[in-house]
Amino acid sequence: MAILTFLGAAQEVTGSCHELRSPALGTVLLDCGMHQGGSNVERVQRETFDFSPAGIDAVVLSHAHLDHSGMLPKLVHDGFRGPIFCAAGTADLLEVMLKDAVSIYLGDLERENLRRGRKGKDPLEPQYGEEDVETVLSLCHSVPYETKKRVGNQAWLTFHDAGHILGSAIVELHLKEKGEDKTLVFSGDLGNRNAVLMKDPATIERADVVVMESTYGDRNHKPLPDTVAELRNIITETEARGGNIMIPAFAVGRTQELLYYLGVLHQEGILDQWQVILDSPMAIEVTKVYDKWFSALDQSDIAKAAPDAQSILDDFIPRLFLAVTPEESIAVNKIVKGALIIAGSGMCTGGRIRHHFKQRIWKAENTVLFCGYQAQDTLGRLLVDGLKKVRLYDEEYVVKAHIETLGGFSAHAGQQGLIDWVTQIKGEPTVVLVHGEAGAIEALSQKLWDVAKIRAQTPCQGKSLVF
């Protein structure tokens, strides 16, 4: 008997974590992600595990995004020492992302403890540190796509390309319990079939249980040609106003996709009057990882952005400026117009984008352009929903910049893509929807019933499925 317990991303988007227990496998976590939104320090301090980390035999990681991997350092800090299985490419990204995340966390914690000290309060103890990140990286075991690996007494793991970001994987676990075969498939985050640079999500033959994300379960994305046209218009309209464009972008996946499309527009001459700035040390390092795995990317897409390209950083946009140091980032403030700034974080919860907001969000000629999902309670979501005033670094600013969103650049499958992917799996599997807000899950659940008579389960946190 196998028991799957949903510990995170159950009727919510972030914090992916599911516990699988089976005599064939032991006790394994599918992902160990952090919740996003709100204060970084408060969020980490209140994160707890509903299990003993030392009792977990292994982690199977779908990909490197922090809402799927960000609690791994705390997991090892609290006693976990088992293997972390991931697809090739993910371990390289984890090194960049987790080191950046712990640096931000410890810096924020230091500032919070200074404030607490001034108020006579006891300091907060760190929940994890840099040494825990190093331990995580030492525990990673990369497994190539389509390679069957034994991970328990009677359990085998296969990763399939999820087409979401570099190294993203659909997890297939094959269990043999008392002579009975059982197959669990965990989608991780499924890619958009129309997304560039990544290959399409792999087709799964059969399963007994399918745990599937539902981030965009209530909608389909705009056609990509329409989205590119919209991007082109936003650039030309902002240029006519004499303004600048600020793009909060996720370092992994979204930044590289944006550089691709800007490369396409560069070929058209649209960027002749623009200086493109990548102002995110982490995004720069991540793009270097993408360049390391350049041959694994979709070469037919690459040819459209830059014929004969061998590197995203060097070949897509010849005038790309990489702002690595704080001084280089501050220097961007001197550009009066024509600056197209890509900076983290993607949901505006931290990072250099907030500094650029402080300089420019109160000017009507400027544009803030969102190209990715904005979780509830994040600054990005509040701005998309029409926030009129924003508080940045203890000062309040009126939001006068144009707020724009581009829905077609999503790295997640839309509703139809999710339906197409799950309905081709044979075996009449039990389908479980996770990693989606309640409305998105409900819409997808209803659509699956209407289209394919699939009665999907939608568990809340802490619920279990026995199979």
Structural domain count, the chain: 2
pTM more than 0.85? yes
Which residues of the chain fall short of a pLDDT of 50? none
Task: Specify the CATH number for the domain of residue 273.
Answer: 3.40.50.10890
Task: Specify the CATH number for the domain of residue 433.
Answer: 3.60.15.10
Same domain (yes/no): 252, 336: yes
- Domain encompassing residue 260: 224-409
Residue 222 confidence (pLDDT): 86
Where among 370, 385, 409 does a domain terminate? 409
Same domain (yes/no): 263, 283: yes
Same domain (yes/no): 422, 290: no
Same domain (yes/no): 203, 273: no
Same domain (yes/no): 402, 445: no
Residue 105 confidence (pLDDT): 93
- Residue in the structure block whose two tokens are 């840099």: 130
Residue 194 confidence (pLDDT): 82
Same domain (yes/no): 182, 48: yes
Same domain (yes/no): 17, 46: yes
Same domain (yes/no): 277, 380: yes
Same domain (yes/no): 251, 282: yes
pLDDT tens for each residue of 207-239: 999 999 999 999 999 888 999 999 999 999 999
Give yes or no for a contact between 423 and 454, defined as CB atoms under 8 angstroms apart: yes
Residues in the chain: 467
Give yes or no for a contact between 64 and 194, defined as CB atoms under 8 angstroms apart: no
Per-position DSSP letters for 299-328, written without gaps between them: HHHHHHHSTT---HHHHS-TT-EE--SHHH
Same domain (yes/no): 239, 145: no
Q: Looking at 90-204, which runs of residues are DSSP E strands?
A: 140-143, 149-152, 155-161, 169-177, 180-186
| Cβ count near 239 (within 10 Å) | 20
**DSSP H helical segments within 119-170, as ranges?**
130-139
Same domain (yes/no): 274, 345: yes
Q: Which of 11, 21, 47 is nearest to 32 (CA)?
A: 47
Buried/exposed 53-88: b ≥16 CB within 10 Å, e otherwise: beebbbbbbbbbbbbbbbbbbbbbbbebebebbbbb
Give yes or no for a contact between 66 and 86, defined as CB atoms under 8 angstroms apart: no
Where among 360, 386, 409 does a domain terminate? 409
At 8, is the secondary structure helix, strand, or coil? strand
pLDDT tens for each residue of 380-427: 999 999 999 999 998 999 999 999 999 788 889 999 999 999 999 999
Same domain (yes/no): 378, 452: no
Q: Looking at 330-427, which runs of residues are DSSP E strands?
A: 339-343, 367-370, 389-392, 395-398, 402-405
Question: Measured on CA atoms in the order 282, 332, 345, 296, is the torsion positive or negative?
Answer: negative
